[in-house]
A and B are shown apart, each in its own frame.
Chain A
Amino acid sequence: MTHSLHRRGDVESLKKDFLVLACTAKGFNDDVFAPLGSEFVRICARHKPVNGGDMKTGNLLYVDPETIAQKVSRSTIIEFTFDDKQNVIDTIKELKERDLGISVVISGMIDEVNDIVEKAGLPKVHTREYSLGTHGKTKLLPEWEVLEFTTMCGHAMVASELVKKMIVDSKKGRATHREAAVVMGKCCSCGNFNVNRAVELLEKNAPLWTADYPVY
């Protein structure tokens, strides 16, 4: 479960946030998945993803795409994150032409995904998963600005406290926005974390936060 349909943010920010993944179907195509998954990695890597990876190998912030491609196994999920819609369209077009026969999923704003599918020349979306939001004891949730960062990791590996520290570190000049975004992104092994979007969020949030976070 990538959790990618629960990413938080304003519309303009989420319009620059797409996840494209390939998944093995256990018992159906896992016996042939590895080389096809490798090709999926190479195709995605050609279209300027901002991050990506295989949870078993790591993400593009510390592993090169060819290493990820060579280590794809029969039981994994490979994921690439994009901040540019045209790059996603080009990726899907190439995947369609190559006809790998494995499952490909896009997460993103509903209208944007519909447009991508149309421009890539595909029929309508096959199956869609809708997010009905967060419920229960919602007063336990971190601040909205923190959720904009933490929900970019599909497995909750980016800690709320780390986000606060990185906002303050970038505010105080202890790290550039990109350095702070990369520190957070490295925690997300699968490569779901959109580093470019994180840089923009830091630019937006750093001036608004007070710098009283403990220094570690």
Chain B
Amino acid sequence: MLVDETKCIGCGRCIPFCPVQARSFGRAATSGRTVIVIDRDRCAECGVCERAGVCPVDAIHQDLLEWPRQVRSILSNPLVEFKGTGIPGRGTEEIKTNEVTGRVKYGRVGVGIEVGRPGVSTRWTEVEKIAMAVAKLGIEFCAENPITHFMLDKKSGKLDPSVVNEVSLSAIVEFEMAEEQLLDLFRVLREEVDGQIDSVYTFEIAARLRPDGTTTVLKKIQDAGYDMLKVSKNNLGLGRPHFPEEVAR
């Protein structure tokens, strides 16, 4: 994002709208007037400041982003569509369409590790740390996810060096694995990630439920001592399946 110093009157109305606090009062380079300046290193290119429509003189605008800075908007601005997923937003369909696609099957789990949420943001060095830690488990990163797309090596989880210093509101490391590997995943996150990253992450696990509404995944999560939130995301199974129905196990 850019502020047009010739228009900005330095009122500061846009400052609280920035999710990463990249805006502050400063001096215009040419006139010396008080204007709003943007910390370009911190700015995640989410576009909230412009869409909020709070600037009384229309001084905020989105500049044309060059590589690699444009990855910031792909991961931060929900209106920017990533070609790999074909949908706006920073993740994939994940389990939202599982009854149609059959993506997460019995005995498997879908895992999402959203780095930078809630409300912190992240540099991609931290995303890479997590991706490389979990990659050692031999998991399969979701191909449609933007972060997977930006991996130099999808086996090791290493990111393309040209993007690794970029910043976004969040970035999701997304993969599937066997349910039996969950304890190994919990160990890796606790031993190699939790105390090592300079950001936060939200952690989610998706499982296909048996016809009676149960899953053995839940006990594994509880036994591992995770303090689960009481809210969940639930696919109701109303979509038309495009795969053979599985036998519950």
Residues on A facing B (Cβ under 8 Å): 1-8, 11, 14, 21, 23-26, 28-30, 55-56, 75-77, 92, 95-96, 99-111, 113-114, 117, 122-138, 140-142, 146-147, 150-151, 154-162, 164-165, 186-187, 189-190, 216
Cβ of B16 under 8 Å from chain A: yes
Decide yes or no whether B204 CB sits under 8 A from chain A: yes
The 10 closest A-B pairs by CB, nearest first: A1-B91, A126-B237, A124-B213, A25-B97, A103-B239, A129-B206, A131-B229, A101-B240, A132-B203, A23-B96
Q: Which residues of A contact B86 (CB under 8 A)?
A: 26, 30, 75
Report B-chain residues with C-beta under 8 Å of the C-beta of A189: 51, 78-79
Instruction: Let me know if B33 is at the binding interface, CB within 8 A.
Output: no
Contacts of A130 in B (CB 8 A): 204-207, 217-218, 221, 228, 232
Question: Shortest Cβ distance from B124 into chain A, in angstroms?
Answer: 15
CB distance from B216 to the nearest CB of A (A): 13
8 pairs, CB–CB < 8 Å, chain A vs chain B: A5-B204, A5-B233, A6-B118, A8-B118, A109-B230, A128-B215, A131-B204, A164-B16
Bound: A128/B11 CA distance, A: 47
CA distance A7 to B230 in the complex (A): 9
Interface residue B85 (Cβ < 8 Å from any Cβ of A): yes
Complex CA gap A104/B232 in Å reads 14
Measured CB to CB, the closest approach of chain A to B224, in angstroms, equals 9
The residues of B that contact A111 with a CB separation of less than 8 Å are 230
Q: Which residues of B pack against A, CB within 8 Å?
A: 11-13, 15-19, 21, 46, 48, 51-52, 78-79, 81, 85-101, 104, 110, 112, 114-121, 144, 169-170, 172, 189, 193-194, 197-213, 215, 217-218, 221, 226-240, 242
Taking a contact as CB atoms under 8 Å apart, the answer to whether B237 and A125 are in contact is yes
Contact between B205 and A136, CB atoms less than 8 A apart = no
Q: Are A14 and B119 in contact (CB under 8 A)?
A: no
* Given A1-B114, A140-B120; A155-B231 close (CB under 8 Å): no
Q: What chain B residues lie within 8 Å of A102 (beta carbons)?
A: 100, 238-240
Q: Which residues of B contact A21 (CB under 8 A)?
A: 96
The smallest beta-carbon distance between A212 and chain B, in angstroms, is 14
Q: Which residues of B contact A154 (CB under 8 A)?
A: 78, 89
Taking a contact as CB atoms closer than 8 A, the residue among B172, B212, B236 that contacts A122 in the complex is B236
Contact of B194 among A135, A160, A187 (CB under 8 A): A135
Closest to A143 in B: B119
CB distance from A14 to the nearest CB of B (A): 6
Instruction: Contact check, B228 vs A128: say whether CB atoms are below 8 A apart.
Output: no
B118 and A136: CB pair below 8 A?
no
**Complex Cα spacing A211 to B52, Å:** 24
Nearest opposing residue in chain A for B234, CB measure: A125
- Residues A156 and B118 in contact, CB atoms below 8 Å apart: yes
Which has the most chain A C-beta neighbours within 10 Å: B13, B17, B92, B121? B17
Which of A6, A117, A142, A150 has its CB near the most chain B CB atoms (within 10 A)? A6
Please report the C-alpha to C-alpha distance between residue A126 and residue B56 in the assembled complex, in whole angstroms.
49
Find the residue from B110, B172, B201 having the highest chain A CB count within 10 A: B201
User: How many whole Å from B65's CB to the nearest CB in chain A?
Assistant: 18
Q: What separation, in Å, do the CA atoms of A103 and B103 have in the docked complex?
A: 13
Complex: A21 Cα to B120 Cα, angstroms: 26
Determine if A127 and B95 form an interchain contact, defined as CB atoms under 8 angstroms apart: yes
